[in-house]
Amino acid sequence: MDYGMIGKIEKARRYTEEPERITFKSFKAHFRGSNSDYDITLGANGWSCTCPGFHSQNICPHVMAMEKLFRPMLKREPLPYAHGQNVVSDVEKANRYTNEKDRIQFETFEAVFHGENSEHHFGFTDHKWQCDCDFFKSRDVCSHTMAMERLLTGMLDIATPQVAVPEVNQP
Ligand SMILES: [Zn+2]
Ligand SMILES: [Zn+2]
């Protein structure tokens, strides 16, 4: 029996219920919109999206959907509505997108995991995980990456899926 791993799986299961432990520093994701595909990024300068709406108004339903889906992991204020934006239609679209997560594919991201004892920097790039914690250094997997893999189910193109974290039982 791999008790070290069993402990990490148990921890990861708990962490999936505490998404506020995670803070995105940056990411690049592919967003399949209603009519075409866009690239959406979050970085030091804030949000960006390649769609025409964002280009003219600095806000769009794609960013609004990401803000809604990942609110506990962003730790930033939502973008303000723009003058002239069709707010009703954009909110309706964003709400629909949050129920259609298969539209989103993360290409790369960097994030901080606020663990029980310390902070860890972890991320995903080239279809692979990284984490700076000791367990990951020896095993290429840890409770942080397992928890995130579960939280981003269907939104990551992973070379080698990690140990499955058991489903959270619904009451
Ligand atoms: Zn957009
Ligand atoms: Zn880790």
The pTM assigned to this predicted structure is: 0.90
Ligand nearest to the CA of 54: 1
Q: How far away, in angstroms, is 33 Cα from ligand 1 center?
A: 8
pLDDT tens digit string along 56-115? 999 999 999 999 999 999 999 999 999 999 999 999 999 999 999 999 999 999 999 998
What tokens were used for 133? 């914690």
Q: At what angle do helices 3-15 and 143-151 cross, to 10 degrees?
A: 40
How many domains does the structure of the chain reveal? 1
Average pLDDT over residues 159-170: 62
Answer whether residue 18 shows pLDDT above 90: yes
Element (H, E) at 170: none
Q: Is residue 159 part of a domain?
A: no
| Average pLDDT, rounded, for the chain | 92
Q: Is residue 6 part of a domain?
A: no
Q: Is residue 87 part of a domain?
A: yes
Ligand nearest to the CA of 147: 2
Q: How far away, in angstroms, is 116 Cα from ligand 1 center?
A: 36
Q: Is residue 167 part of a domain?
A: no
* Residue indicated by tokens 């990284």: 130
Range of the domain at 67: 27-104
Report the pLDDT value the prediction gives residue 75, as an integer from 0 to 100.
95
Q: How far away, in angstroms, is 10 Cα from ligand 2 center?
A: 14
Task: Identify the burial level of 105 via C-beta atoms within 10 angstroms of its C-beta, where 0-12 means exposed, 13-18 middle and 19 or more buried.
Answer: middle
Q: Is residue 10 part of a domain?
A: no
